[in-house]
Amino acid sequence: MTSAQPPVSNDFWRTTRRSFTAMIRRDGFGLLALVVLALVILGPLYSVVLWAFAERWRYPSLIPTEFGFKFWEQTFSRADIAAALPFSIVLSLVVTALSALICLPASYAFARMRFRGRQALLLSFLATNAFPRFGLYISIAVIFFRLNLIGTVPGVIMIQLVNTLLLMIWIPTAAFQGIDRSLEEAALDVGASPLRVFIQITLPMVMPALSAALLLTFVNTFYEAQGALLIGLPRIVTMPVLMYSLINSQLVTQYGAIVSFVLWLPSLLLLLVAQKLLRGGYLTAGFGV
Amino acid sequence: MARLDIIHLTKQFGNVLAVNDAGFTVQDSEFMCILGPSGCGKSTLLRMIAGFEAPTSGDMQIDGESVTALPPNKRPTAMVFQKYTLWPHMTVYENIAFGLGLRGLSRAVIDQKVHDSLALVSLSGYETRYPAQLSGGQQQRVALARAIVLEPKILLLDEPFSSLDAILRVRLREELKRIQRRLKITAIFVTHDQEEALSLADRIAVMSGGQIEQIDHPSTIYANPQTLFVADFIGAMNLLKASAQDGVLRLGGKQLTAPNGIQSSDKITIALRPEDLMIVPDGTPDAWKAQVDQVMDLGHYRKILVDVPDVGELKVYVTKSMTVNEGDRVSLLPIRYLIYQNDAAPIEVNRPAAALT
Amino acid sequence: MTTLQTSPPSSAWSRWRGAILAYVLVAPPLLLMVLLIFIPALQSIVRTLTIDVEGQSGFSFSRYVAFFNDPISVSNLVFTFQIVFLTLIIIFIVCFPLAIYLRFAQGRIAAAVQILVLFPLFVPGIILCYALIRFLGTRGTLDTVLSIFGVTEYRTPYLKPDAIIIGLVWESIPFTVLVLTAGLRQISDSLIESARDVGAGDWTIFRRIILPLITRPVLIAFSLNFLGIFGSYTVPYLLGPAAPQMMGVFMQQTFGQYRRPDDAETQAVITFLICSLVGLLYVRTVASQRIQQEDE
């Protein structure tokens, strides 16, 4: 990738549709990028997926020496994993629900109401991104330490909530702002009450954005490891936190691989709707872009 | 179906007077157009009638009952908006049935009404489509059906065709007129397109700067614009600065007969329609000498720009049978014009037809 | 909902009521942010600057003096800077060509490249680390592949600074490319075509037309990546060497293992101060972009 020419050639601008062979001939950069990216991006994951289904894998074989599910049983019969997985799921659901409860009414106000300082207050949520994350966690941890919130569920919930604010405010705010007001006026005009307009007209139209915000928040929270590690240990162990110890102790390679594989499933959910998220501009909205 | 009275209606945004003391009556089954340039307050006026804006002062009455205090969902009006405001998550059927459902009608009645209204706008069979599957013209027809299905006392239309292309605009305009005639519904149509207003309206209200300038039948508005703004805004017009002294009207070096009642002043404007300037044989008394600068062929007639020394450039319409070329010298005779003085109603001057021959 | 109904009476009182309701609605998330971001940060700053002497508290730089006199702390800070800058440079070298390619190219290859570029977004950091260990480690996949080609002298970057950089770049690609591509899409084809029309070459177009028009996306990508890398923990902890450490790992150890929250706090405040300029740059850039969008 690094050796690539700046790929600004006539071809990108002048030609629209190309035959496949002509494309390969002309789209040299694309092909190069494709091959390199495939190796770099998919290579590491290749090892994880195969390790998850390997009974035995001796060096220097490219694929496992023996495939099998033996370690799956072992993995999920481990007490720590059996406890952490449901806990992680419930925790993420709770955090997502709380975040929605706190943020959605606010995002409606930001989008629709006129009040002094609206723009500045909305922008202030960028602060969640403007600190070096781990430094901020340390500051919070010091306070939680004195409040005895270290190693408690409320402590973990709070630190994870901080991470969800920007996304849960900015995406819905943009969605509410994006709705043409005359669509609501038209409903008022045919006799619907303001509440009915909100429920039957406004809400269905912001639903794609709201579900994107909820989904992204859930997945982000599910994978959040640093805050949970710092605030949660030793009593609260989420799946990602457990991964740290699985990696560090390196008992059985397969444990880590299987947990990684299982942990990765919610992300697959996101991957499936990635095109939609991308088109709606939701992926970048979480960064305040 | 109903009469609307607008009484001393005023709307102020900050210190901008969007609508200034509007007052008029729209009769039962009348088609009224509110015409004006953008920002003249016509949309604000319509939105006050619909209930989306609260007036600063004044009253609105439908069939003699005040509706000023009612929110939009309680008013017997229905509006067709400028952009296609169909709810994207509902089918055509659901869009039209939404308002009916709120009125607690039975399923069968709703079915029947939706069906009838779609037939009225020639869209039978489109019930299950979503708005995104319709063309712009079709969407606006559904919006119209959605408004009239509620049998509103007053139908409000806010530049409903402005986002459509020219041909479609004309076709929908004709369709709207036909539907309005058939249902005998009272309609108020806001537009900045004078052709649209002239062809649709029973009466036109011309607005400018929040003020209603004139309310009249289209032909009267065209023939007798009561203010300089209307004269300039409606149709093509030559406006000429002139002065009057001792009963003689002077513009540039030219003289025109001044009618009785004109006062000496140098702030007079003469309004002269392009079709009221005739090309006459050289030597006709009182004719102006002019040179043809430009000839534009506009289909069934020609528009020419002529330069009249001491007066300036004028627009003239001539029939196609007359040969005129750029550079030609011609003689022009104004046969009808309006004289505007101060803010008073204009004085019309007609040159007797006999003088032409 | 209240704003939907602008109908009468629109008195000063009802406008007041609307504003109060708005403040009530936006208060909970703001409060949460103040409590969990601004107050902890401020308190840390204040406390690291005070010292208790016989029950009397006074202003003092002593904690900072201690930090900068400790060779381990200083070397960790320097190490963090090195990693941040090296990683940033590599990110831009990798992502700029990809973004330009994705903006202008069409077809199946471009679509495939797009999917691959976005892919890391859907791989959580902790799984990435595990995957990279399996991939880059001794006797890992890369080692295996190389040995098949006869390369036996494989020296793994795992537990070396190189592995941190690889992991951080891997994580940053999707976001950076997304932001840059979004910026590039704002530049219309006609703008570039007209430049080409007057005889500008590719390089001139890039430097004179494209670059000036995407300063904002570049600044956002730069600042967020800077902050992200500076505040990272998982990648340097799992892939990096035991010493020197990046600040995130260093802080966690000071707090969690050595149980010295005061020192961890000093380290945290130092990262705040270093990142504050970049943080401000980020907020300003996003703010100006947003205000411009609302004006349109």
Please give, rounded to a whole number of angstroms, the shortest distance from the CA of B328 to a CA of chain A: 50
CA of A55 vs chain C CAs: smallest distance (Å): 16
β-bridge partners, A67: A54
pLDDT per position as a tens digit, B301-317: 889 999 988 888 899 99
Q: For residue B215, which amino acid is it?
A: I
User: What would the mean pLDDT of A191-216 be, rounded to a whole number?
Assistant: 91
What is the pTM (predicted TM-score) of this model? 0.81
Compare C4 and A284 and report the one with higher pLDDT: A284
Instruction: Report pLDDT for A14.
Output: 45
Dig out the tokens for A232 from the structure: 């949660």
| pLDDT above 80 for B267 | yes
Instruction: Single out the residue in A68, A84, A116 at which a domain terminates.
Output: A68
Looking at the fold, whether A94 and A29 belong to one and the same domain comes out as: no
What is the phi-psi region of residue A175: left when phi exceeds 0, alpha when psi lies from -120 to 50, beta otherwise? alpha
**CB-nearest partner of B73 from A182, A188, A201:** A188
Pairing mode of beta strands B312-319, B186-191: unpaired
pLDDT at residue A104 in the model: 96
Q: What are phi and psi of B59, to 5 degrees?
A: -140, 155
d(CA B247, CA B252): 16
Predicted local distance difference test score (pLDDT) of residue A208: 87
CA C119 to centroid of chain Cα atoms: 18
Residues C19-69: tens digit of each pLDDT = 899 999 999 999 999 999 999 999 999 989 888 777 777 888 888 999 999
Residues A29 and A110 in one domain: no
Mark out chain A residues that contact chain B at CB-CB < 8 A: 180, 182-183, 185-194, 196, 200-201, 204-205
pLDDT at C56: 77
Rounded CA gap, C143 and C138, in Å? Answer: 6
Task: Examine residue A240 and say whether the peptide bond preceding it is cis (omega within 30 degrees of 0).
Answer: no
pLDDT at residue A1 is higher than 80: no
- Span B277-334, pLDDT tens digits: 888 888 887 788 899 999 998 888 889 999 988 888 899 998 888 888 888 899 888 8
When CB atoms are compared, the residue of A7, A46, A135 closest to C268 is A135
- Residue from A88, A138, A166 whose CB has the most chain C CBs within 10 Å, to mutate: A138
3-class DSSP state of C221? helix
> If you ran DSSP here, which 8-state letter would residue C9 be given?
P
Contact B72 C8 (CB under 8 A): no
| pLDDT band, residue C269 (cuts 50/70/90) | very high
Q: Which two tokens stand for residue C173?
A: 């690609």
Q: How many domains does chain A have?
A: 2
Counting as contact any 3 or more CB pairs under 8 A, the partners of A are B, C
CB-CB under 8 Å, A13 with C192: yes
Read out DSSP for chain A?
-TTPPP---HHHHH--S--HHHHHHH-HHHHHHHHHHIIIIIHHHHHHHHHHTEEE--TT-SS-SEE-SHHHHHHHHSHHHHHHHHHHHHHHHHHHHHHHHHHHHHHHHHHH---TTHHHHHHHTTHHHHS-HHHHHHHHHHHHHHTT-TTSHHHHHHHHHHHHHHHHHHHHHHHHHHS-HHHHHHHHHTT--HHHHIIIIIHHHHHHHHHHHHHHHHHHHHH--HHHHHHHTTT---HHHHHHHHHHH-S-HHHHHHHHHHHHHHHHHHHHTHHHHHHTTHHHHTTT-
Terminal CA-CA length for chain B:
52
Averaged pLDDT of chain B: 89
Average pLDDT of chain C, as a whole number: 87
Whether the per-residue pLDDT at C123 is higher than 80: the answer is yes
Residues in a beta bridge with B315: B305
| The pLDDT value given to residue A62 | 78
Do A86 and A184 belong to one domain? yes
pLDDT in tens, B60-70: 999 999 999 99
Q: Token digits for C188?
A: 């219309």
Q: Take residue A77 and report the two structure tokens written for it.
A: 């019969």
Domain boundary among A68, A92, A108: A68
Which pLDDT score, from 0 to 100, does residue A285 have? Answer: 67
For residue A168, what are the domain limits? 72-288
Q: For residue C59, which phi and psi values (nearest 5 degrees)? A: -80, 135
Q: What is the pLDDT of residues C144-177, one digit of tens each?
A: 888 888 888 888 889 899 999 999 999 999 999 9
Is the model more confident about A67 or about B357? Answer: A67
Q: Shortest CA distance to B17 belongs to which of B191, B230, B225, B207?
A: B207
ipTM score of complex = 0.85
- Residues A170 and A194 occupy one common structural domain: yes
Say how many CB pairs under 8 Å bridge B and C.
18
Whether residue A235 sits in one domain with residue A202: yes
Alpha helix stretches (DSSP H) within chain C: 12-33, 39-48, 62-69, 71-104, 108-118, 125-136, 141-148, 161-185, 189-197, 202-204, 211-213, 215-230, 234-239, 247-252, 261-295
Whether the Cβ atoms of residue B313 and residue B305 lie closer than 8 Å to each other:
yes
| Short-list B135, B133, B111, B138, CA closest to B122 | B138
In this structure, how many other beta carbons lie within 10 angstroms of the beta carbon of residue A36? 17
- Residue labelled with tokens 């600042």: C223
Say whether the peptide bond before residue A60 is cis (omega within 30 degrees of 0).
yes
Provide the mean pLDDT of chain A.
83
Judged against a pLDDT cut of 50, whether residue A4 lies above it is answered with no
Percent of chain B whose predicted confidence (pLDDT) is above 90: 63
The pLDDT, as a whole number, for residue B1 is 62
CA C264 to CA C242: how far, in whole Å?
A: 18
Instruction: Identify which of B55, B69, B71 has the shortest CB distance to residue C5.
Output: B71
Q: Chain C: which residues have CB within 8 Å of chain B?
A: 5-10
Domains of chain C: 70-124+159-295 (1.10.3720.10)
The gap from C-alpha B165 to its chain's centroid, in whole angstroms, comes to 18
Token readout for B10 is 């005023």
Burial-class residue C246 by CB neighbours within 10 Å (0-12, 13-18, 19+): buried
Summarize pLDDT for C178-218 with one digit per residue, the tens: 999 988 888 888 887 787 777 777 788 888 888 888 999 99
Q: What is the CATH number of the domain that holds A133?
A: 1.10.3720.10
Cα–Cα distance measured from residue B4 to residue B51, given in angstroms and rounded to the nearest whole number: 14
pLDDT digits (tens, 9 = 90+) for A130-144: 888 888 999 999 899
Provide the pLDDT for residue B229: 93
A185 contacts B81? CB cut-off 8 A: yes
State whether residue C178 sits within 8 Å of chain A by CB: yes
Same domain? For A41 and A133 the reply is: no
CA angle B257, B259, B264 (to 5 degrees): 90
Say if CB C221 and CB C179 are below 8 A apart. Answer: yes
pLDDT tens digits along B172-214: 999 999 999 999 999 999 999 999 999 999 999 999 999 999 9
pLDDT of residue A250: 65
Q: Average pLDDT in the A55-68 region?
A: 79
Q: Are residues A106 and A169 in the same domain?
A: yes
Q: Are residues A62 and A99 in the same domain?
A: no
A177 and A208 together in one domain:
yes
d(CA C59, CA C45): 12
Measure the CA–CA gap between B234 and C92, rounded to whole angstroms. 60
Instruction: Identify the residue among B91, B102, B159, B163 best suited for mutation to test binding to A, counting A beta carbons within 10 A and taking the highest.
Output: B102
| Residue A205 and residue A160 in one domain | yes
Q: In the structure encoding, which two tokens stand for residue B138, read together?
A: 């079709």
**Of the candidates A27, A42, A68, which is a domain's last residue?**
A68
Q: Which residues contact A100 (CB under 8 A, 6 or more apart)?
A: A168, A213, A214, A217
Q: Can you give the length of chain B in residues? A: 357
**Average pLDDT of the segment spanning C116-132:** 89
Reported confidence tier of residue B352, pLDDT bands at 50, 70, 90? low
Same domain membership, residue A95 and residue A218: yes
CB A27 within 8 A of CB C109: yes
3 state SS of C10: coil
- Looking at the complex, does the CB of residue B52 fall below 8 Å from at least one CB of chain C? yes
Structure confidence at residue B244 (pLDDT): 84
Structure letter (DSSP) for residue B253? T
Give the span between the Cα atoms of A137 and C247, in whole angstroms. 12
To test the contact with chain A by mutation, choose from C15, C37, C288, C292 the residue with the greatest count of A C-beta atoms within 10 A, namely: C37
Give me the pLDDT at residue B45, please: 95
Q: Is the pLDDT of residue C256 over 90?
A: no
Per residue in C216-252, pLDDT (tens digit) is: 999 999 999 999 999 899 999 999 998 899 999 999 9
Report residue B52 as tokens. 């989306």
The predicted-structure confidence for B203-255, as pLDDT tens digits, reads as follows 999 999 999 999 999 999 999 999 999 999 998 999 988 888 877 788 877 77
- CA pair distance C27, B288, nearest whole angstrom: 76
How many CB atoms neighbour CB C198 within 10 A?
6
* pLDDT tens for each residue of C1-30: 334 444 444 567 777 888 899 999 999 999
A113 and A36 inside one domain? no
Q: Quick check: B71 contacting C, CB < 8 Å?
A: yes
Looking at residue B263, what is its pLDDT?
77
Higher pLDDT, B346 or B258: B346
Helix-helix angle C261-295:C39-48, to 10 degrees: 140
- CB proximity list for A181: less than 8 A, separation 6 or greater: none
pLDDT range class, residue B116, cuts 50, 70, 90? very high
**Local confidence band at A234 (pLDDT 50, 70, 90 cut-offs):** confident
